[in-house]
Structure 1
């Protein structure tokens, strides 16, 4: 089951920023904030762990300078961090994925735990920072040819990363930022990252500048930067100031744009739920599409738009994103093929399966008979080898929009219905759409 309590994570990291300045005098308050970060998100464990590593280094240097290094073993702060470590390990033990967890895109035992490293992975580490504050560059599916075309932009973004590090060094917070950031960046680039994880980095950037201003009163710039700035003309100085304020203003604009898109466009599957209720379709056998992935290299995106029959698909019958989303609009599970072994459960088990287990699930579906309604296009002949796909017509297309920064990604689902039911209702029109296959 997926949990994404990002709002609580942001609360925790901002509380940690409030307590950071007095962490040595009041370590319990600060570590409780870090514990909350660990409790709500795996990225919270990484950032909290990185901050503790930096703190331990600072404590070690403090004792080494005093010539009383042995005293570090009696330091209350170190023992409290040890308690936090135990807590974090318990959280990690609770959330470590089972062997049969669905990782997404991994279709064989050979690729299930493989994490290839390429140019895109390395680039992600550098671009993640600028994408968190003022750019929208990384597309999470970029191939090498795309990277070559974007080379000038990449160079600029890496230069921005270097400037950022120089400023942090001047403010004595380079280590505080780079260790947690590197842990998150390594995990995100090699194991898993999605666009919504960029917001975690945004919160951490705010945390970093928050503690700098709290300690120093302002963000200090390197002397060389100040000298170059003094040599500029009035207009160029204005441009530089405007650029410096972009990381402050752009995320606010992103929030405004996303909020507007949420209000302006239909929310998720509202229209599909209304359609089902209007025609009382929940009284019929409704099938929801399930997750199907092409066997082979999960990074091979060349198959999109091609004939489905040219590829071998791997089936995950329990992974039904559309079903779990639509069920939230009803007081029961309306999909006969969703959680068929326990239909009273309306949440999604993020469980992988072998192809043999998929066939067993398909057999249980077949015992219920053929569906009257199919929500979204799927390879229904895998579950029902003898079904006549020409017996189903498309009757409704539901559009939904996923906002991200200044853009929206338009997608849609299609509702199919048996011709017999279609004729019985009599008021629907058949849409021009791809057939079930």
Structure 2
């Protein structure tokens, strides 16, 4: 999801203009009529309208299940209906955590306090950062906890990194693992640390990976400033995605609570140790004070001192209070029934929720998707109909663990047996370069 992408507003179910110029197109005996539809479609999407969508969708922080999140669902639904799509807002009841109190402190060997955070994020001139609806930096799926332990620097927190820690004679039991973002999913970092016996995990963004080493920091440039924090879920999504309490079952409003897994059965999907993100401003005094042996040289980040492994020198105290509750989220689904094969679905979608405002992730993609819907609406007015059913999905609670899309897929598992393709537009615009990835069967389409 955090990979830089620039995705064209034309999605797969409307053929690309470059293809339309070809005298022979795979799948068509005669491409003439489709070429006319493509040409008509490509005149419709409007960058100014996309910009208006983006401003509306990002006007307020809209964490999944919040009133502001519902407002974005209603806006998207209105645009779907305006284009002529069969539209519904589909609610689900899912388990989500919301932070009540997040406190991280670190002390040196003499008991001197090194840091207390997470430090409130700040960029000069940003008029939106003081909105009281902005939640403190936290990890989705982290449990509450109050733990204290010696800090061990574990590089990226990969399996190889933790094996190296063990090889170097460091026992992780009861320790606080300090790891940096990159190379693997944050939930995997926490999972491995938990397996190694760690008491808690702190995840920070090193400037070598996401900061001034890459280019100018915000507001001068596009890269992460000193006190910026990457939020994210630490759910064990390699086990299963979606609502932790309803694996394989759609958590519809009608699902009885008796059908949900109890808290003591969630360990396969949820961490049992607390985890929280930090900025490199907050991580710096911890790393600077760490004693013990030097870290392996490939583990050195970009802060201006030698990184040590720890084991002595720094103790961290993590006090996290999470409000776990079953909360309502809202997918928005738009459909255009197919004329020849209505049971075969071509699906395109993107999530809508965000940890804060979500300008790049996800709503640059949602803005592009809405202009695609705008184009499809104009074709419908002119008599176009797809041969297969087109489904457009605006998913909720993706950030917490692909929750909204998973619940919808679980509810429609039978119909999805006949699905033809799915196209996702998440980070639609982030910089000047185009990027896309696909399953091998769509290789030529991406090219």
Range class of TM-score, shorter chain: under 0.3
Kindly indicate which of the two structures has a greater share of residues assigned to helix. 1
TM-score (norm 1): 0.21
Which structure would you say has the larger RCO, counting Cα contacts within 8 Å and 6 or more residues apart? 2
TM-score (norm 2): 0.21
Larger Cα-atom Rg: 1
Kindly indicate which of the two structures has a greater share of residues assigned to strand. 2
